[in-house]
Amino acid sequence: MPSRIAAAFILSVLLSSTISVSPSTPRDSIRKATVGKAIYFITNDDDNAVIALSINLDGTLSRGTITSTGGAGSNVLAVGGMTTQAPDALVAQSSLAIVDNNIFAVNAGSNTLSLMEISAKSPSALKIVGEPATLPGEFPNTVAVSKKNKLACVAMTGAKAGISCASFSTKGLGLMDNLRPFDLNQSTPPIGKFNTVSQTFFSTDESKLYTTVKGNPATNNTGFFSVFTVDHTNQLSAEDVRSSPNGTQILFGSTPIPDSPNHVFVTDRAFGAIVLFVDPETAKVDLVGKGIIEGQIATCWAAVSHITHSAFVTDGSIDRIVEMSLDNASVISKLDLFSNGDPGLIDLAVAGDFIYALSPGNDTDQAAVTVLDISGGQGSARQIQHFQLGDLGVNKNAQGMVALS
Ligand SMILES: *[C@@H]1O[C@H](CO)[C@@H](O)[C@H](O)[C@H]1NC(C)=O
Ligand SMILES: *[C@@H]1O[C@H](CO)[C@@H](O)[C@H](O)[C@H]1NC(C)=O
Ligand SMILES: *[C@@H]1O[C@H](CO)[C@@H](O)[C@H](O)[C@H]1NC(C)=O
Ligand SMILES: *[C@@H]1O[C@H](CO)[C@@H](O)[C@H](O)[C@H]1NC(C)=O
Ligand SMILES: *[C@@H]1O[C@H](CO)[C@@H](O)[C@H](O)[C@H]1NC(C)=O
* Block mean pLDDT (10 aa), the chain, length 405: 41 39 50 92 98 97 95 96 95 98 98 98 97 98 98 98 97 97 97 96 97 93 96 96 96 97 97 98 97 98 97 98 98 98 98 98 97 98 97 96 97
Strand partners of residue 222: none
pLDDT attached to residue 30: 58
pLDDT attached to residue 29: 53
- The best mutation among 288, 310, 326, 330 to test binding of ligand 4, ranked by most ligand atoms within 8 Å of the C-beta, falls on 330
Is residue 210 a contact partner of residue 239, using CB atoms and an 8 Å limit? no
What's the CA gap between 73 and 162, in Å, rounded? 18
Ligand (nearest to CA of 222) = 2
Q: Domain limits of the chain?
A: 36-404
Nearest atom in ligand 5 to the alpha carbon of residue 341 is 4
| Closest residue CA from atom 1 of ligand 4 | 328
35 burial (CB, 10 Å; 0-12 / 13-18 / 19+) is middle
| Ligand 5 pocket check for 338: Cβ under 6 Å | no
Amino acid at 76: V
Is residue 126 a contact partner of residue 103, using CB atoms and an 8 Å limit? yes
DSSP conformation class of 364: S
| Ligand 5 pocket check for 364: Cβ under 6 Å | yes
Q: Which residues line ligand 3 (CB under 6 A)?
A: 246-247
- For residue 358, what are the CA distances in angstroms to 45, 65, 343? 16, 16, 11
| Closest residue CA from atom 5 of ligand 3 | 247
Pick from 252, 101, 112: which is nearest to 170 by CA?
Answer: 101
| Ligand 4 pocket check for 119: Cβ under 6 Å | no
Q: Give 334's Cβ-side CA count (13 Å radius).
A: 15
DSSP conformation class of 277: E
Those residues whose C-beta lies under 8 Å from the C-beta of residue 101, and which sit 6 or more positions away, are: 117, 118, 119, 120, 404
H/E segment holding residue 253: strand 251-256
14 burial (CB, 10 Å; 0-12 / 13-18 / 19+) is exposed
| Closest residue CA from atom 8 of ligand 3 | 246
Give the Å distance between the CA of 215 and the centre of ligand 1.
Answer: 14
In CATH terms, the superfamily for domain 36-404 is YVTN repeat-like/Quinoprotein amine dehydrogenase (2.130.10.10)
